[in-house]
Amino acid sequence: MSNSGLSAGDAQLMNAVAEAEAESARHGQDLTPGQWAKKNLFDGVLNSIFTLVFGSIALVTIWFGARWFIDSDWEIVRANLRLFMVGQFPRDDLFRLWVSGYIVVFMGGFVAGAMAHNAQDLADMQGVEYERATWGSLLRRFWTIIAIIIFFVSFARTALPYIGVAGGMVLAVGSRELGWRAPAAVRARSVYIGAALFIISMMVLAGTSRLGGFALGAVALAWVASETGKRDLPGGGAGMVQRWAPAILVAVVVFVVTVLLPYDGYGWEDWGGLHITLFTTVFGIGMGMPIGILLALGRRSDLPVLKTASVIFIEFIRGVPLISLLLFSNLMLPLFLPGDRPADLTLAVIVITGFSAAYIAEIVRGGLQAVPKGQTEAAQASGMSAGAVQRLIVLPQALRAVIPAMVGQFISLFKDTSLLSIIGILEFLRVSDVANAQPDFVGKGLAPVTYVFVALGYAAFAYTLSKESRRLETRLGVGVR
């Protein structure tokens, strides 16, 4: 749906990447299909047997799969498409979902475009080559997501979802272009703009709560802090107006959105379906990442209290099945929390965040151990503070080394959100059970149909995540050196 801002790259490695790609392009060309088949499929007796056996197995599977696909009664999915996508979100206010979705798409496109341009500028400055993304390359990267969205929409009975999705795709393309063409001063601050847009999209959905206002305020503060930090850097001395205007803009937006336009929305206890699955995943990763990194640093720390607390947390969470943690969140966590009982999903999200943080912490610790001690010593010798050593020298190397494991954890978390069903939350997978209990469909044996529908959804998103991670690995040169 949207570009995830992964474009900022380590420009020094781009030469190597470009060379590797050119290399791979030189191979496997200048062959007719017949020659290719002979070389790759029927190269010797053993290879020919393998080709025939596995080829016929594949053909039979595809034949029966396609037959099943065509013969099945997909009415249960058509009737319940909204339930699959958004669960029990109030039908009269679905526009909130569309608007907030559009804002997120715009945010993704804009930030990705801006960061890609930033990466090119950096590459130019360092005199390395930068391969600008083309429409073709973007399509190759995101065809799974586009295909699954079209697959989902093909079950719609009205024109609105088609128009809405087409509009979203146009918006994604347009916002990326806008981000690319934005002035350098705006591009440099695109992360803050993106964060503010994301919070605003949440407020469109969930209402202008104090929480949203605080979050926006925090973004504005971080912005101001980073502007203040830039003041002393060479080349960072932009004019007074340029430096403060964006922050003031955000402050005005905060004021307008939270004070002048107060309205109610629907908190996440009313969300459901694929929406809640994606949201819980993004939230679990987004919150779990920083907490996990802190836990990993804490575990390596010399302070005994910090170290022990980190170890206890990590080992406890990792030693307990997620199902029992979710049941714990539902039945016991409220006893420890002050005030009224929070929504079931709030409790579950707390546990899921902690769960992913513990696993991420162990992955990051592995990365930290892979960074040679000489790096730290050299940084210390050059007079860097302890914080700067970690932030600028150790963590960037450690995190880069663990991208594959980290993305594996993200994919695993994405699938683990289906466990929310055991505490009665109507996430993507559970809609299947609910739909099969409806009077029109009960006892018709339609569970395979709905399960296949859901499985395709999970597979498309997980595959895209994994593809993006491999792309990131290539760009950052993981495994090359």
Partner 1 sequence: MHNSKLLKLLAVLLAFVMIAAACGDDDDEGSTDAETETPDEGGSDGEGDDDTVELTQSGGTLAKVQDAGTLQCGGNDTLPGFGIVDADGAFSGFDIDFCAVVAAAVLGDSTAVEVTPLVAAQRFPTLQSGEIDILIRNTTWTASRDGAEQANFLHTTFYDGQGFMVAADSGIASLDDVADASICVLTGTTTLLNLNAVLGDLGIPFTAVEFESNDELNPAFQAGQCEVWTSDASQLASFAANMDIETSILPEIISKEPLGPVVADGDTEWAQVVNWAVMATVQAWEWGIDSTNVDDFLTSEDSNILRFLGEPIEDDDGNSVVAEVGLGLDPKFAYNIISQVGNYQEIFEKNLGPIGLALEGSPNDLWTNGGLQYVPPFR
Which residues sit at the interface with partner 1, rule CB under 8 A?
A: 79-80, 82-83, 87-91, 272, 304-305, 308, 327, 330-331, 334-336, 338-339, 341, 344, 421-424, 426, 433-445, 447
Provide the minimum distance between the beta carbon of 168 and partner 1 in the complex, in angstroms, as a whole number: 22
Cβ nearer to partner 1, comparing 87 with 179: 87
Cβ nearer to partner 1, comparing 44 with 338: 338
Provide the minimum distance between the beta carbon of 422 and partner 1 in the complex, in angstroms, as a whole number: 6
Provide the minimum distance between the beta carbon of 109 and partner 1 in the complex, in angstroms, as a whole number: 30
Cβ nearer to partner 1, comparing 133 with 278: 278
Provide the minimum distance between the beta carbon of 96 and partner 1 in the complex, in angstroms, as a whole number: 14
Cβ nearer to partner 1, comparing 73 with 131: 73
Cβ nearer to partner 1, comparing 72 with 376: 72
Provide the minimum distance between the beta carbon of 131 and partner 1 in the complex, in angstroms, as a whole number: 46
Cβ nearer to partner 1, comparing 252 with 312: 312
Provide the minimum distance between the beta carbon of 309 and partner 1 in the complex, in angstroms, as a whole number: 9
Cβ nearer to partner 1, comparing 83 with 182: 83
Provide the minimum distance between the beta carbon of 439 and partner 1 in the complex, in angstroms, as a whole number: 5
Provide the minimum distance between the beta carbon of 68 and partner 1 in the complex, in angstroms, as a whole number: 15
Provide the minimum distance between the beta carbon of 390 and partner 1 in the complex, in angstroms, as a whole number: 24
The alpha carbon dihedral of 434, 422, 93, 82 has a sign of negative
Cβ nearer to partner 1, comparing 83 with 368: 83
Report how far apart, in Å, the C-alpha atoms of 248 and of each of 53, 104, 214, 227, 241 are: 67, 22, 15, 12, 10
Cβ nearer to partner 1, comparing 89 with 106: 89
